[in-house]
Amino acid sequence: MNVKLVHHRFTVKQYDQMIAAGVFHEDDRLELLGGEIIEMSPTGMFHAACVKRLNQVFSQQLGAKAIVGVQDPIHLDRHSEPEPDVVLLNPRPDFYMQGHPEPEDVFLVVEVAETSLAYDREVKLPLYARAGIMEVWIVDVGQSTLEVYRQPVVDKYTETIRLVSGDSISPQAFPDLTIQVEQITG
């Protein structure tokens, strides 16, 4: 007997309604990617420390020039609402209370990969490129490296840079801000 599996692809609207209805617990680590509700792995100590370092560096150096979002949703399209580890957003007086940030609101997305490196590269990165996110960083906690992706075209980035300890980087949107890789990786 053949069993036909039926997949239901959720929209952001349906996902948000499920959240509002209490279908999920507020501590559940979930993301909507390509219409699928994905359970994210628990946050490890190295991952958490890296996110805290990024938050501190960006908050101290950028002040009111950007809103620093930490593990908050961004609305990419009808079927995707990821929660990147850190995101730099265009400042708005309402702090996005009227709706999650859209791709045009995003200066930079940073994903910290302790156990999710392949997933971040193969699943999330193409979604960010497709949405037109201009710059994405992936911190490889295990290798203490920073991967920088710029210039999205269709579902990939045409510029890729890999940085190691001793290297520095400036976000495209904030060229006056120079960050040492070890400020991020520890």
DSSP symbols for 22-65: TSS-TT--EEEETTEEEEPPPPPHHHHHHHHHHHHHHHHHHGGG
The answer to whether the CB of 172 falls within 8 A of the CB of 134 is yes
Whether residue 2 is predicted with pLDDT greater than 80 in this model: the reply is no
Number of alpha helices (DSSP H) and beta strands (DSSP E) in the chain? 5, 10
**48 vs 41: CA distance, rounded Å:** 12
The larger pLDDT score, comparing residue 179 to residue 28, is at: 179
DSSP-derived pairing of the beta strands 106-113 and 30-33: unpaired
What fold does the segment set 42-185 form as a domain? tt1808, chain A (3.90.1570)
Q: Which two tokens stand for residue 120?
A: 């971040």
Q: pTM of the full predicted structure?
A: 0.92
Give the pLDDT confidence score for residue 26 in this predicted structure: 77
**35 vs 7: CA distance, rounded Å:** 10
Q: Which two tokens stand for residue 58?
A: 């960006």
Domain extents in the chain: 42-185
- In DSSP terms, 108 is beta-bridged to 88
- Per-residue pLDDT tens for 92-142? 999 999 999 999 999 999 999 988 899 999 999 999 999 999 999 999 999
- Cα distance from N-terminal residue to C-terminal residue, the chain: 55
